[in-house]
Amino acid sequence: NAGVTQTPKFRVLKTGQSMTLLCAQDMNHEYMYWYRQDPGMGLRLIHYSVGEGTTAKGEVPDGYNVSRLKKQNFLLGLESAAPSQTSVYFCASSWMPSGRENEQFFGPGTRLTVL
Amino acid sequence: DAKTTQPTSMDCAEGRAANLPCNHSTISGNEYVYWYRQIHSQGPQYIIHGLKNNETNEMASLIITEDRKSSTLILPHATLRDTAVYYCIVRVEWEDTGNQFYFGTGTSLTVIP
């Protein structure tokens, strides 16, 4: 099993450009999450999904959109990138909302720089 | 408002126990405490979690105070590979069966040879 994978690993954008980050998991997990991590800070939840076709806002959703068209994929979109969106983005997935099964498995991260 | 507070950094001698504290004074009765660690900016890795009782697994022990306002992660015999940033997390349940992890700012643990 590959676990959670993210594409791309690195990206540099100019202000106003758009892009999509792809997260894929092969563990048949229901829940998927997108986080951002800024220097010296913990991870903050951007959006999440509790199943195929569903998405919801997390702690810092502004400027981002997401889609979960297939259970194994969770896409994070930036329609008009801003320098404030320079960050490392982590995707995670989990099976169930409670107990050990809620362990979130994280991908390796995508380092995004917006100039 | 931060749900957890942790010291910014700690050192520990190799082979000794590392005790990492966390304060979560506003935690509610059904909110779990999780610990993850992050090595070299990789994705965070699960260590342990608990609700009320102390927990132990092959990696660590988690001691939660009786009032649940603080906890301590214990790595019993720290090795150089335990050098990482350790995050104390409160898991909040939403009414619609969802949940959210609230990460602290983390403690950077350095294990010294």
Note down pLDDT in tens along chain B; length 113 residues: 678 999 999 999 999 999 999 999 999 888 899 999 999 878 999 999 999 989 999 999 999 999 999 999 999 999 999 999 999 999 887 665 567 888 989 999 999 99
Task: Answer whether A104 sits within 8 Å of B101, measured CB to CB.
Answer: yes
Integer Cα distance of B100 and A94 in angstroms:
12
User: Which residue in A42, A88, A109 is closest to B105 by CB distance?
Assistant: A42
**Using CB atoms, which residue from A100, A103, A108 is nearest to B43?**
A108
Q: What is the SS3 assignment for chain A?
A: CCCEEEECCEEEECCCCCEEEEEEECCCCCEEEEEEECCCCCEEEEEEECCCCCCEECCCCCCCEEECCCCCEEEEEECCCCHHHCEEEEEEEECCCCCHHHCCEECCCEEEEEC
Q: Is B45 on the interface with A (CB under 8 A)?
A: yes
pLDDT in tens, A25-59: 999 998 899 999 998 788 999 999 988 999 988 88
d(CA A109, CA B40): 11
Residue pair B35/B45 in contact (Cβ under 8 Å)? The answer is no
